[in-house]
């Protein structure tokens, strides 16, 4: 099924606004977005509203936007469980690789030639450079 993002964004915005019983002007003021953004989105003209605008509008309407796998309405996808985790250099862990939390030094040493008998600290997380 091909869905036009402009049309879908407008339909979702209109449904949220109707749920909250707000006018376009009231929604724009409550969400901190322009009235023209709301109007353009609802009539699917021009560019679709930004993700940030849609999230602010949902919050202003007392709604939340959720992502669910196709055909599985009972399951909601949330943030990646390692999103807030950073390494010692302040970098995010690579989302495209398999990441796991380390419990002992030997879990890390087999991949990195690290002596499991040594005392230096080992990282909290590790990952495989090549997916299985």
What structural domains and CATH numbers belong to the chain? 5-60 (1.10.260.40), 79-132 (no CATH)
Who has greater pLDDT, 22 or 113? 22
pLDDT score for 84 = 72
**CA 41 vs CA 33, 48, 60, 86: distances in Å:** 12, 6, 16, 37
Scan for tokens 């690789």, then name that residue: 97
pLDDT score for 21 = 96
Strands (E), the chain: 99-101, 125-127
Who has greater pLDDT, 34 or 80? 34
Task: Please say whether the beta carbons of 41 and 9 come within 8 A.
Answer: yes
Mean pLDDT, the chain, as a whole number?
79
pLDDT score for 43 = 87
Q: pLDDT (tens digit, 9 = 90+) per residue, 76-126? A: 877 666 677 777 677 777 767 777 777 766 666 555 555 555 555 667 777
């Amino acid at each position: 099924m091909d869905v036009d993002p402009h049309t879908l964004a407008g339909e979702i915005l209109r449904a949220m606004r109707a749920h909250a019983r707000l006018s376009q002007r009231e929604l724009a003021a409550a969400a901190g977005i322009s009235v023209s953004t709301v109007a353009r989105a609802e009539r699917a003209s021009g560019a679709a509203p930004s993700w940030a605008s849609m999230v602010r509008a949902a919050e202003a309407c007392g709604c939340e936007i959720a992502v669910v796998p196709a055909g599985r309405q009972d399951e909601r996808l949330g943030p990646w469980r390692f999103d807030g985790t950073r390494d010692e250099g302040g970098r995010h862990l690579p989302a495209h690789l398999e990441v796991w939390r380390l419990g002992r030094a030997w879990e890390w040493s087999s991949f990195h030639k690290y002596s499991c008998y040594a005392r230096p600290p080992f990282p909290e997380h590790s990952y495989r450079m090549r997916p299985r």
